[in-house]
Structure 1
Amino acid sequence: MSFRRKYHSVPLGRDQFYIDVRYTNLRPIGGGSYGVVCSADDTATGRRVAIKKIANVFSDLVDAKRILREIKLLRHFGSHENIVQVKDIITVPPNTIDFSDVYIVTNLMERARRVLGRRPEARKPPPRAPRSDLDRIITSRQTLTNQHHQYFLYQILRGLKYIHSASVLHRDLKPSNLLVNSNCDLAICDFGLARGFDDDAGKLTEYVVTRWYRAPELLCETKDYDEAIDVWSVGCIFAEMLRRKPFFRGDTPQHQLETIVSVLGKPGDGALEKIQHEAARKAIFAGAECEPYPFASYFPRDTSPTALDLLAKMLVFDPAARATVDAALEHPYLSELHGQMPEPLCDDTFDFEFERAATASSDEGKDALPKEEIQSMMFEEMVQLQLVMEDGGADAGAKAGAEGKDGEEDMATARTTDTADAK
């Protein structure tokens, strides 16, 4: 099935991209998880896009399954402004189900060419980075105002609300998985570790979430966790924005838990009763030996008290008492942004059944799918995207239709207000 595609081979440093001729002017912008990433012009839409090449995608079937999961999730989410959007998938060799390389085309979050939140006439050298994400911005010399903090945090929560409404846990939120452009627009990416609300939660506990952003219930190896783990991660990211460095920096899971307790204080008896893991209990009591400093003392003196109030509600040890995404969005710190634009919910929950059904018949192990199953499903995703492009125009990201356009206009309005305030 060719869909009238034509291909060309483009040298890119030491690599070679074999892609549709509609993509031109390729430039390397770094390496993402599992592959090389470049920017390109999409001549069919007139827009810049990002293309990630994943060579020999089936050399590791666990990684291949994560890539398939991400493709399916991004297609399901459509064109939400705060989630990276898949535009195209290219398989090589083309026109065969027995392919080995995959190219994933998404919208491009251009790296900052000017100071964030400033008008062009106030240009200064941008952070020098091959691509833009929140991690690079936090560690740069870029000035971040309270308005920047508000706008970034709001967009993270707005995207997360949409993700959770599809009954999906991201499970790997961190600054490097939050793409940012020079207009301060933010998009959540990297869904390779995502899971459904009703999945076997303990299945990947030791791998889920980078340690510094890992919720206490995961560090305690609790099996029944929920969307509160993502809220904790967002809280850690928010604290990092305010401090310009990570908040909880443990060297091991136990040390991470000890560090959290040393800052927040010993959890209540109700939370402690739920913890069965002996090493976790020891770490908690070790962290509680010293009296914690006032929470505000960990942050710059000019930090907004309202920001710290929200942060304290997000970084609660007990997940049952932790702020929800909705509660965070409704907090006074975000009240102006919360009232400016719609916060849409996903129309349908995402079905992870494709993983459970195929894994049950797999001999590769409990977290792997058979190669043929993954190939077939990836090929089907490519075909479905091509049908959308053939049927509804060149831009495959039009799934959200008029609602998505309205959302973009609302985001632009909020950004304009935020920029004016940040001056």
Structure 2
Amino acid sequence: MKPPNDAEPVETDGGATTDLQPHPPPENICMNISHDGRYIQYNFSGNIFEVTAKYKPLIMLLGRGGGGIVCSGINSETNERVAIKKIMHACRDQIIAKRTLREIKRLRHLEHENIVGIKDIVLPPQRDAFEDVYIAYELMDTDLDKLIKSNQELTKYHHQFYMYQLLRGLKYIHSANVLHRDLKPGNILLNANSELKICDFGLSRVASDAMTQYVGTKWYRAPERLLSSSAYTSAIDVWSVGCIFLEMMTRTPLFPGRDRSDQLRSILEFLGSPTEDDIGSLNESGKQCLKMLPWFDRQSFFVKFPDVPFLAVLLLEKMLKFDPRKRISVEDALADPYFKTMHNINNEPVCTKLFDFDLEEHPVTAEQIKELIYHEALAFNPEPLAFNPEPATVEKDQ
């Protein structure tokens, strides 16, 4: 989605994108061709990164995480720059395998300007002998977490335009019967022209599924999740958006709890203790948990955040309701006066087909999930990779 003509782009070369810019290859990187020249292996300080030879050397390291590494590359067949994520041991463990397949399935179904797109799944060189999975996504410049922590100035317009795009993408997700469940600044990708895309659907679920207890980063977790409610709705994503919205404007997390109990206490200290009506959707365990806490008076949004625009505060109050039944919907949030200059229902599409596949309904083993992931890779690479007698020239031990 392009910003209006009077939009001010975020100049991300001021430091916001430092961590996501291609890093020069370190001296100890090694590159070698493999599997008859069909693949290239990169060794990043002992971490092997193996992709098909269509991705031009050099592959550039973007970042590391607990589950693997992310590199940038250029697909020589399409000339597209992509971010390739290596998910380590994705097919060894059933939980990680489920998350990986769920991410692939969701993103292939959800095609929207404000949702990151999958460009390729690297076909494993051996069908029955692979553990790692490589997924190529649209390459973006940075994420909202890095932007918030940077010294980059953000105007009121940026706050408004980022939130509008986030809600626009979320409307599409919810219309497909999917809950994201892990919205946080790090899962919101940005480009220098202020374009925004939602990513990381590994914890997402179909709205009608039985829900697991662990969901997402606790700072952005809705009260009903902290109280172990299993009957939650799309309102959990709206809560997360409200937390992200205020953090973006203040550059400080709203509810940075140390653990679940501290997180809940932090919420109540600000919103005040809920009424009997507010806890009507909770189970008995959740209600008993609240009764063990002291009474808290509600604080004023306007007093606590005097520099936040009036209309933004009014919208935040609708998003951050303790009772999920009283929380504003994404559709109503888009139509809120805060977005008066941007809202256009004819340019806020919904998904025309509900997503109805979920692993929780069909018990499967890690090996079965592995086969399903291989089939997803075949969808992007329908023909077996042909032997290339003249593989791309790669210098070794650079």
State the TM bucket, normalised to the shorter chain.
Answer: 0.7 to 0.9
Report the counterpart of residue 415 of structure 1 in structure 2.
none
Matched AA of 1:347:
T
**Residue equivalent to 2:122:** 90
1:31 aligned residue (48, 64, 79): 64
The answer on 1:309 being equivalent to 2:323 is no
Is residue 215 from structure 1 mapped to residue 222 from structure 2 by the alignment?
yes
Q: Distance in 2 between matches of 1:379 and 1:38?
A: 21
* Among 175, 184, 193, the residue aligned to 2:203: 193
The corresponding residue for 2:282 is 275
The residue type equivalent to 1:350 in the other structure is F
The SS at the match of 2:277 is helix
Give the 3-state SS of the residue equivalent to 1:23 in structure 2.
coil
Contact 1:48 1:108 in 2 (8 A): yes
Letter of the structure 2 residue corresponding to residue 72 of structure 1: K
Match of 1:339 among 337, 340, 344: 344
Contact 1:166 1:346 in 2 (8 A): yes
Structure that is richer in helix per residue: 1
Q: Which residue of 2 aligns with 1:370?
A: 365
> Is the alpha carbon distance of 1:262 and 1:280 closer, same or farther for their aligned partners in structure 2, counting shifts above 3 Å?
farther
Counterpart check, 1:296 vs 2:327: no
Identity of aligned residues (%): 44
Q: State the 1:388 CA deviation.
A: 10
Match in the other structure for 1:348: 353
The partner residue of 1:63 within 96, 114, 127 is 96
CA distance in 1: counterparts of 2:285 and 2:50, whole angstroms? 53
Aligned to 1:44: 77
> 2:359 and 2:271 mapped to 1: Cα distance?
41
Query: C-alpha displacement at 1:340, in angstroms?
Result: 8.4
Gaps of 5+ in 1: 111-131, 360-368, 391-423
- List per-residue Cα deviations over 1:116-151 (Å, max 9, x = no partner): xxxxxxxxxxxxxxxx21111111111111111011
Structure 2 residue 240 is the aligned partner of structure 1 residue 233: yes
1:304 CA drift (Å): 0.9
Distance 2:318 2:383 in 1: 43
1:348: how far off? Answer: 1.2
Contact 2:121 2:134 (8 Å CA) reproduced: yes
Partner of residue 137, structure 1: 147
Query: Structure 1 residues 351 and 372 mapped into 2: Cα distance closer, same or farther (>3 Å)?
Result: same
Is the alpha carbon distance of 1:283 and 1:265 closer, same or farther for their aligned partners in structure 2, counting shifts above 3 Å?
A: same
The structure-2 alpha-carbon separation of the partners of 1:275 and 1:356, relative to structure 1 and needing over 3 Å to count, comes to: closer
- Report how far residue 373 of structure 1 moved: 0.7
Alignment CA distance shift 1:9-1:281 (3 Å): same
Q: Which amino acid aligns with 2:349?
A: P
> Structure 1 residues 340 and 351, CA, compared in 2 at 3 Å: closer, same or farther?
closer
1:235 maps to amino acid: G
Aligned pair partner of 2:173 in 136, 156, 163: 163
Q: CA deviation at 1:379?
A: 0.8
Deviation at 1:182, TM superposition (A): 1.4
**What does 1:176-191 correspond to in 2, within 5 Å?**
176-191=186-201
Cα gap change, 1:287 to 1:384, in 2 (>3 Å)? farther
Shift of 1:76: 1.1
1:261 aligns to what?
Answer: 268
Maintained 8 Å contact 1:70/1:190: yes
Say if 2:273 and 2:298, in contact at 8 Å, map to a contact too.
no
Aligned residues: 349
Structure of greater relative contact order (alpha carbons < 8 Å, 6+ residues apart):
2
Structure-2 change in CA distance of 1:284 and 1:155 (3 Å): farther
Which residue identity is paired with 1:304?
A: P
| Aligned residues: CA RMSD | 2.3
TM-score for both structures, normalised by structure 1 = 0.77
Aligned-residue offset at 1:281: 4.5
